[in-house]
Amino acid sequence: MDDDEITRYAFRAADGDEAAAERFVSGTQRQLHRLLTYLSSPAVAEDLMQETYLRAFSSLPAYEGRSPARMWLLSIAKRVAADHLRAAKRRPISSQAEDWVAAAERQGAHSPDHGRLVVLRRLVNELDPERREAFVLTQVIGLSYADAAEVCDCAVGTIRSRVFRAREDLTAAMRTSERRASNG
């Protein structure tokens, strides 16, 4: 579903069209879930999606269409994830199992590709938050640099720089991780 269609559904949903609201959700939920999974964790992504849609639908009557509805929704999701991470820092951690990666490792999921994915996922989570957001939006979700800049409310050049630096950080961290594994 393209941005124009999603935006039309958003406007119709704001007018009370339930079918349009369902189409708006179905047209955005996959990207929204991927973004929230990377900005937070797979364990809470579903809850954060619900929170994002709650905020979006309560704000939909004020949505003016200055940007595509998908970008508007992803901006809300970014704030929801940031709010969650701030709140999580204030709460004590109740479990050492942060996400599916750790659970899979404990369950004995061992294949070469899985191992690299586990490491890469951990390394992406360790990136500076602004670099992680830019990287996930462009390289995982597939947004253009211009769209990512709109979601992050910054210049396109800033997004390009953040993605470049995130790639450098990930490459260096992957090399270090692989060296440790081969020496280990």
The 10s digit of each residue's pLDDT in 110-168 is 444 556 667 777 888 889 999 999 999 988 888 889 989 998 999 999 999 999 999 89
- Domain extent listing, the chain: 1-94, 97-184
Fold of 1-94: Rna Polymerase Sigma Factor; Chain: A (1.10.1740)
pLDDT score of 182 more than 80: no
Mean confidence (pLDDT) of the chain: 84
From residue 108, give the alpha-carbon distance in Å to each of 26, 42, 96, 121.
34, 19, 17, 17
Domain 97-184 is in which class?
A: mainly alpha
Answer whether 1-94 and 97-184 agree in fold.
no
pLDDT score of 95 more than 60: no
CA 157, 74, 84: angle at the middle one, nearest 5? Answer: 105
| pLDDT tens figures, 1-23 | 899 999 999 999 999 999 999 99
